Amino acid sequence: MEDFEGKLAVITGGGSGMGRELALLLAEAGCHVALCDLAQEALDETRRLCAEANMSVAVSTHICDVSDEDSVEAFRDAALAAHETDHVNLVFANAGISGGGSFVLDERTDWDRTFGVCWFGVYYTARAFMPLLIAAEEGHLINTSSVNGFWAAIGKGVPHTAYSAAKFAVKGFSEALVSDLRLHAPHVKVSVVMPGHIGTNIALHSGMVIGRENLAEPGAVDVVKIRGMLERRGLPVGNLPDHQIREVIRQQGAYFFDNAPMTAAEAAAVILAGVREGRWRILVGEDAHELDRRVRAAPEEAYEPEFLEGLQAAGHFNGLRPPPNE
């Protein structure tokens, strides 16, 4: 799909990060956009920026919790009504959060919430929109996995089970669709996107939803759960007052964002280039390419301390280290 003009793209997680940047680039290219996220204010800002980029495209915004199938189906129906169409051309299953690091120690609700957004969000989106992609003359499903879809780690001594399990599932599902679509809907393509460390607010947003039962409803930070999570990671936060716990989360999110080697806008450009080229496998960032090479070369060593140390010595994934004052 080399030309996006006049087509309709659906983007989950369109209120910030790569989702927002994808929307802006698509709008500039003349593509109409249907966006969903949990925060209306963030969606409104994305819509405003899209209008600045290209006033001629239609942009609709929708509140949706992608971990809930009914919510995804309601988003689908509302998007079709807003754009007065019976098909879509591009679907970016992009929404994601992190959390539920330890299968052994963390609470199941946190684990299930992360897995629900990062895996079931992709699955429900594909289920809801695949018939609409098939109904188009040409369609493309783009599922966001991660380098954690082939390397289930995030840093030394930090378990990353829920997010990694979900991203492995997204990768496997997307690869399986390559043959399925070639056989049964050859005019529809699929891509799996595997970004490395990208400058987004996923770390901050994930910290803000720990302990939340319903992601679609606003709520205060659950300081008790965050304190426990940080203590399990070896951080001496037991005696910190609540406002300093909130500040630790903010600092970690800012550190992750500020030390990323690639911006969300740069990542979005790589993703759309891959879509235009019809690639089913899109690695995003030099760190993603280097990690992929090293895991393939020595899979049995991928979870040894020296593996990450070697990556960081080569200048990759240093933004995963805790802030210096931590």
Is 163 a residue of the active site?
yes
Contact 34, 79 (CB under 8 A): yes
- Describe the chain by its helix, strand, coil percentages, rounded to 5: 50, 15, 35
Q: What element of type H or E holds 141?
A: strand 139-144
Contact 22, 282 (CB under 8 A): no
Indicate the SS3 state at residue 198: strand
The rounded distance, in Å, linking the Cα atoms of 167 and 194 is: 9
The rounded distance, in Å, linking the Cα atoms of 200 and 52 is: 22
Write the CA distances from 163 to 283, 322, 325, integer angstroms.
18, 19, 26
Contact 35, 58 (CB under 8 A): no
Tell me the H-state helices in 136-285. Answer: 161-184, 202-209, 223-232, 242-258, 264-276
Q: Which candidate in 123, 124, 163, 255 is catalytic?
A: 163
Token look-up 């930070």 returns 221
The rounded distance, in Å, linking the Cα atoms of 191 and 144 is: 8
Indicate the SS3 state at residue 285: coil
Nearest-5° angle of CA 73, CA 93, CA 45?
A: 90
Token look-up 């709520």 returns 219
Q: Which token pair is 324?
A: 């210096």
Catalytic residues: 163
